[in-house]
Amino acid sequence: MLVKEDHRDLQTSTGPMRVYFYQPNLLEYPHAKFPGVVVFTEIYQVTGPLHRFCRQIASQGYVVACNESFHEFEVPGVAIPYDVEGTDRGNRYKVEKKLVAYDEDATLAIDALVAHPNCNGRIGAT
């Protein structure tokens, strides 16, 4: 199945957070509704493998939202490299980020997915 991708920058109490959206692309049915899935990132943010994972889920008939976890520390669109420095950086961020900020990010990502025009309001998470 073809997949359409876009992103939105949502405002949080600590600055903008980029959320990527992936959805089935049915040209004949542009207003089709699908269940949604929120995908939470690992310490490297939204990397190539995570983009592929989200596309795979969308190709099975879901609208997917995936937010950047460390938007307080990185500019939008930056993936942390899979190397020693990147691993140290991501591990440092996961400790420095406040727990309330994780909760706010999750709530905003879920709300954005539920409000997505092609989401039917039924969602899950991975």
pTM for the model stands at: 0.94
pLDDT 10s digits, 6-21: 999 999 999 999 999 9
Of the CATH numbers 3.40.50.10680, 3.50.50.60, 3.40.50.1820, 3.40.50.300, which one belongs to the domain with range 3-125? 3.40.50.1820
Which residues, 6+ apart, have CB-to-CB distance to 94 below 8 Å?
Answer: 43, 69, 70
pLDDT 10s digits, 21-59: 999 999 899 899 999 999 999 999 999 999 999 999 999
Q: DSSP letters along 29-72, please?
A: -TT--EEEEEE--BTTBS-HHHHHHHHHHHHTT-EEEEE-TTTT
Phi and psi at residue 88, to the nearest 5°: -60, -45
Burial 29-44 (b: 16+ CB within 10 A, else e): eeeeebebbbbebebb
Mean pLDDT of 85-105: 97
